[in-house]
Amino acid sequence: MSIAYLDPGNIESDLQSGAKAGFKLLWVLLGATIIGLLLQRLAIRLGVVTGMHLAEVCHRQYPTVPRIFLWLMVELAIIGSDMQEVIGSAIALNLLSSGRIPLWGGVLITIIDTFGFLFLDKYGLRKLEAFFGVLITIMAVTFGYEYVTARPDQGQLLKGMFAPYCEGCGPAQLEQAVGIVGAVIMPHNIYLHSALVKSREVDRSSRREIKEANKYFFIESSIALFVSFLINVFVVAVFAEAFYGRTNAEVNLVCNKSGSPNSHLIPVDNNTLEVDILKGGVVLGCVFGPAALYIWAVGILAAGQSSTMTGTYSGQFVMEGFLNLRWSRFSRVLLTRSLAITPTLLVAIFQDVQDLTGMNDFLNVLQSMQLPFALIPVLTFTSMPSLMNDFANGPVFKVGGGLVILMVCSINMYFVVVYVTALSAVWLYVLAAFLTLVYLAFVGYLAFLCLVALGVSLPDVCTKRKNDTTVLIERQLEFDT
């Protein structure tokens, strides 16, 4: 589960945060991680108490048409995440080979790697978890090396982490803060985590054992997210210390003096330095030596490879749950990886690296839009006594969870609006307006069902609809019992 907080999309958000705002947005990263942990807790409790993951519960509780639409939205989020992993791995291979492996070649190589993970999966879940532990350790060591090399100001780091204020920040920093939340909290991770808890043996006939399982799963998740948070802090701090406030011309001059073959990637102007995963490795190599570049690339490769299986497993659970359709993992990977690689490969072949790395912004927007389709259902179902029995959300968690989800969704929708308004084509505005109406209507439908589950009083004109919806949501009560 912690892998999803360390994918290439997260790493790119971290380095851009450090380069644009220094240490000033670390408190946003900390807050987003804490909110992510609380949302993962809901997913944990749903899986432990019901013995079903979120997609299975959605299949049983929602009508057919909304369920299919919900499945399509989650699949879009998974494919978008998979594309980010492909892009990150391709860039890492390009850096490690000093450009000998072209970006399109790196994209093709990532087709093969996932099937290698599936082969490892045959040896058992614990061995696969151990292998992921090795990859996380590689990320911790590589990004930790960059952190030690950069020697960031610890006082400024602590101030940025615990002082919720951004002095002198403008629209660019505000957009970056929104991007951090969107990169950290991802919809498919909620579905994944609710399914992963089923790999542990829990006696659901014993209330004490269910309570104990919830406690230890929460502790496990806290440790995992603490490690991922530290790695994210390493990346932010490195770029905050070394590159905050620098211009493209200053960094280009340093790269030319160091003899870097990639100095042409840094434009010669007085604009503030803007970096992505590729240019991030290049500028690290210019400032701290070639070793820093290769160590950075190893960390990015570990992030891309490990997060590959996040999409694979979540896609498998989502398809099985929503459609009650059981494919082999081989077939599932072949489908989703083909959908993810095709557009990425076309951009890698016919466009330059700027377009490839720029796709991450669009993919972050795509995943931000899918967030309500994970957060609203998980709050709805964990608040239903008919499903959760004594473990249903209490008033504090209902209100708090509702406010947190409203805040996160609002932040992400702001991110979407900023991205769309930056587009210049009129037909895109028209298309975006139409899709927004459909999108908001469906989100409103899910929110209505959530309010019913939360026990919110509705106007008299809604009473009949409320009763019908309550019957719909709780139609499996007798079977559950």
CA distance 68 to 378: 17
CA distance 235 to 147: 7
3 state DSSP class of 475? coil
Please report the DSSP string for 217-274 in residue order. HHHHHHHHHHHHHHHHHHHHHHHHHHHTT-BHHHHHHHHHHHT-TTGGGS--SSSBP-
- The structural domain count of the chain equals 1
What is residue 466's predicted lDDT score, i.e. its pLDDT?
Answer: 43
pTM of structure: 0.84
Domain limits for position 289 = 2-480
What is residue 356's predicted lDDT score, i.e. its pLDDT?
Answer: 61
The mean-pLDDT minimum among 65-69, 114-118, 126-130, 354-358 falls in 354-358
For range 398-404, the mean pLDDT: 86
Residue 148 has pLDDT above 80, yes or no: yes
Backbone angles phi, psi at 123, to 5 degrees: -85, 0
Give the position of tokens 């048409």. 65
478: confidence class by pLDDT, cuts 50, 70, 90 = very low
Q: Quote the mean pLDDT of the chain.
A: 81
Distances (CA, A) of 90 to 86, 296, 308: 6, 14, 13
The pLDDT tens digits of the residues spanning 317-350 come to 888 888 877 777 667 667 766 666 677 677 667 6
Give the number of C-alpha atoms closer than 13 A to the C-alpha of residue 297, restricted to the C-beta side.
22
CA distance 83 to 367: 11
The pLDDT tens digits of the residues spanning 12-38 come to 888 888 888 889 999 999 998 998 898
Distances (CA, A) of 341 to 79, 86, 109, 259, 314: 9, 7, 10, 34, 18
* Amino acid letter, residue 182: G
Q: Are 402 and 454 in contact (CB under 8 A)?
A: yes
CA distance 356 to 107: 11
Residues in the chain: 481
CATH number at 381 reads: 1.20.1740
More confident residue, 273 or 378: 378
CA distance 84 to 117: 18
CA distance 210 to 223: 20
CA distance 304 to 310: 10
The pLDDT tens digits of the residues spanning 355-364 come to 666 566 677 7
- Kindly give, in sequence order, each residue whose CB lies less than 8 Å from that of residue 333, ignoring residues fewer than 6 positions away: 114, 115, 118, 312
Angle at 194 between CA 453 and CA 469, to 5 degrees: 20
Of 167, 184, 157, whose CA–CA distance to 4 is shortest? 184
Q: Are 72 and 256 in contact (CB under 8 A)?
A: no
What is residue 203's predicted lDDT score, i.e. its pLDDT?
Answer: 85
For range 140-167, the mean pLDDT: 90
Token output for 121: 């999966």
For range 132-145, the mean pLDDT: 88
Burial class (CB in 10 A: 0-12, 13-18, 19+), 26: buried
144: confidence class by pLDDT, cuts 50, 70, 90 = very high
Rg of the chain in Å (alpha carbons): 23
| Cβ atoms within 10 Å, residue 277 | 28
| Cβ atoms within 10 Å, residue 426 | 8
Residue 158 has pLDDT above 90, yes or no: yes
Q: Give residue 261's Cα distance to chain centre.
A: 33
Token output for 399: 């209100």
Token output for 18: 């450090």
Burial class (CB in 10 A: 0-12, 13-18, 19+), 41: buried
457: confidence class by pLDDT, cuts 50, 70, 90 = very low
CA distance 24 to 36: 20
Q: Are 192 and 314 in contact (CB under 8 A)?
A: yes
For range 263-276, the mean pLDDT: 78
Distances (CA, A) of 475 to 9, 142, 257: 40, 52, 70
Residue 475 has pLDDT above 60, yes or no: no
